[in-house]
């Protein structure tokens, strides 16, 4: 019996900590008084959901069948509490999260509520019109980020912080946990490589929630013309940076599970190479391959078994690719590996393409010019990683004043 008890205890300790995390949107007692009498705009998408608890039950129009533990979109929760929501802003993938990366998301109307959805990816302007800005007094951001410099939800938030600062509007963040918030790693963006996939001088993995990042943006005067926005952050409860938080819904179409979320910092670098990441297959961001990968090599890869796939979109679309299947890796191992160049170096060495392996987009993703140069020189991952360690240490100290949760 003692042996069985110890075995059960070991299993429980090995399992992800099921912390009773309450996201910012659940803290209705904190923010409802601040929204009284104001016209509200909401930046959100399909990830803006709330698990109903004692504090988050609607007082207006809520269905009698709604129970504690049910999920509800933040938009519906606000409306049920009588908040005057006048506009919705939608980032990449659209309000319902169905658009692909880079696909233009047109302005539309939320069918359920009739509230206008004003897209920032409509191909016309990267900021709302003057007319749109006149429809609200305060803008709320409630969206699930994954904590990476090239995961662009924070870029949308940054743009709206900018325009709100310029137009004298208030800005509020309903904070959410960062599933990659347990570490900080990767090159700091050299701002000469600033782009739509990298807008701030932060590492690849910055380890901050959107609320913390918003505070840092404001405190470091990173908005245009060194402006500051009137900012309020509604923090999460029962969360630290070591909390193992499982996302309740996939944050984007190709990040379908937690393994993909943990691998994404490393494998996303393939987006700037001829290597396919499995987009258009049933394993996006869980494999990598190329038509010129030879099967014998991939069969002995230390990172996973061989795989053959045919992507129906993006890089190598319609071509049969041989490569490495990462989907068998455990989540625990993926978290332990964190941000790594090992998959990139494996493909680079295998394809023997020299500089033709890289596209100009590579520096926009990795953030620094020295990474490509050192790979071409045949440097090891350890040698390359050593180049950003001091910068990461400085960044961790710089961000400390803006953290809301224990490290």
What would the pLDDT profile of 341-357 be if each residue is shown by its tens digit? 999 999 999 899 999 99
Say which residues have a Cβ less than 8 Å from residue 100's Cβ, sequence separation at least 6: 93, 253, 313
Q: Which residues pair with 158 in a beta bridge?
A: none
Identify the pLDDT of residue 232: 98
349 contacts 275 by C-beta, under 8 angstroms:
no
Name every residue whose Cβ is closer than 8 Å to that of residue 390 and which is 6 or more positions away in sequence. Answer: none
Q: CA 124, CA 89: separation in Å to the nearest integer?
A: 15
Please count the other Cβ atoms lying within 10 Å of the Cβ belonging to residue 261. Answer: 25
CATH tag for 24-248 (out of 3.10.20.600, 3.40.50.2300, 3.40.50.800, 3.40.50.12170): 3.40.50.12170
What pLDDT, on the 0 to 100 scale, is given for residue 110?
A: 83
Contact call for residues 395 and 203 (beta carbons, < 8 A): yes
Alpha helix stretches (DSSP H) within 58-144: 74-80, 130-133
Number of neighbouring beta carbons within 10 Å of residue 389: 10
31 touches 83 (CB < 8 A):
no
Q: Which CATH architecture has domain 258-368?
A: Alpha-Beta Complex (3.90)
Res 124: pLDDT: 63
| Residue 48 near residue 73 (C-beta atoms within 8 A) | yes
CA angle 209, 265, 260 (to 5 degrees): 95
Q: Which helix (H) or strand (E) holds 308?
A: strand 306-309
Report which of 288, 278, 285, 260 is spatially closest to residue 345, judged by C-alpha positions: 288
Q: Which residues in 295-315 are b (16+ Cβ under 10 Å) and which e?
A: eeebeebebbebbebbbeebb
CATH 3.90.1150.140 occupies which residues in the chain? 258-368
What per-residue confidence (pLDDT) applies to 128? 87
Residues of the chain with pLDDT under 70: 1-19, 54-65, 92-94, 96-107, 119, 121-125, 295-300
pLDDT of residue 228: 98
Closest CA to 176 of 217, 211, 226, 222: 211
CB 86 within 8 A of CB 39: yes
Beta strands in 143-199 (DSSP E): 170-174
User: Please, is 191 exposed, middle or buried when counting C-beta atoms within 10 Å of its C-beta (0-12, 13-18, 19+)?
Assistant: exposed
Cα–Cα distance list, 259 to 140, 268, 290 (Å): 30, 13, 22
Q: Which two tokens stand for residue 144?
A: 């699930």
User: Which pLDDT belongs to residue 7?
Assistant: 29
* pLDDT attached to residue 131: 86
Dump pLDDT digits (tens) for 38-54.
999 999 999 999 987 76
- The CATH 3.40.50.12170 portion of the chain extends over 24-248
Two structure tokens written together for 34: 């601040």
Picking from 3, 397, 392, the residue whose alpha carbon sits closest to that of residue 203 is: 392
**Which H helix or E strand runs over 347?**
helix 342-351
Q: CA–CA separation, 402 vs 235, rounded Å?
A: 12
The answer to pTM > 0.95 is: no
Strand partners, 109: 116
**Who's near 138: CB < 8 A, 6+ residues apart?**
34, 35, 38, 39, 40, 41, 169, 170, 171, 172
Could you give the CA distance from residue 203 to residue 169 in angstroms, rounded to a whole number? 29
Between the two ends of the chain, the Cα-to-Cα distance in Å is 38
């Amino acid at each position: 019996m003692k042996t069985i008890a110890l075995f059960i205890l070991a299993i429980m300790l090995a399992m992800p900590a099921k912390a009773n995390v309450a996201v910012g949107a659940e803290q209705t007692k904190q923010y409802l008084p601040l929204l009284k009498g104001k016209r509200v705009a909401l930046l959100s998408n399909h990830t803006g959901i709330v698990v109903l608890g004692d504090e988050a039950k609607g007082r207006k129009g809520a269905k009698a069948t709604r129970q504690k533990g049910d999920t509800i979109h933040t938009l519906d929760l606000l409306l049920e509490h009588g908040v005057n929501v006048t506009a919705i802003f939608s980032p990449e993938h659209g309000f319902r999260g169905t658009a692909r990366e880079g696909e233009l998301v047109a302005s539309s109307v939320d069918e359920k509520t009739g509230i206008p959805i004003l897209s920032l990816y409509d191909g016309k302007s990267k900021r709302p019109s003057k007319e749109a800005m006149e429809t609200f007094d305060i803008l709320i951001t409630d969206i699930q980020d994954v904590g990476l410099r090239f995961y662009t939800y924070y870029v949308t938030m940054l743009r709206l912080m900018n325009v709100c600062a310029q137009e004298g509007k208030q800005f509020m963040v309903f904070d959410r946990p960062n599933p990659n918030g347990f570490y900080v790693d990767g090159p700091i963006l050299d701002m000469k490589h600033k782009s739509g996939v990298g807008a701030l001088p932060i590492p690849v993995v910055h380890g901050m929630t959107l609320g913390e990042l918003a505070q840092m943006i404001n405190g470091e005067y990173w908005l245009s013309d060194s402006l500051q926005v009137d900012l309020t952050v509604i923090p999460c409860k029962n969360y630290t940076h070591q909390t193992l938080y499982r996302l309740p819904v996939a944050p984007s179409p190709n990040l379908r599970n937690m393994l993909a979320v943990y691998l994404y910092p490393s494998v996303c670098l393939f987006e700037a190479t001829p290597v396919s990441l499995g987009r258009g297959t049933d394993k996006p961001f869980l494999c990598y391959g190329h038509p010129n990968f030879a099967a014998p090599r991939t069969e002995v890869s230390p990172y996973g078994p061989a795989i053959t796939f045919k992507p129906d979109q993006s890089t190598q679309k319609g071509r049969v690719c041989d490569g490495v299947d990462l989907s068998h890796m455990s989540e625990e191992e993926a978290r332990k590996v964190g941000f790594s160049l090992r998959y990139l170096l494996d493909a680079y060495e295998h394809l023997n393409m020299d500089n033709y392996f890289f596209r100009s987009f590579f520096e926009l993703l990795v953030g620094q010019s020295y990474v490509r140069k050192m790979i071409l020189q045949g440097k090891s991952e350890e040698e390359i990683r050593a180049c950003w360690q001091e910068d990461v240490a400085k960044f961790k100290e710089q961000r400390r004043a803006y953290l809301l949760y224990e490290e």
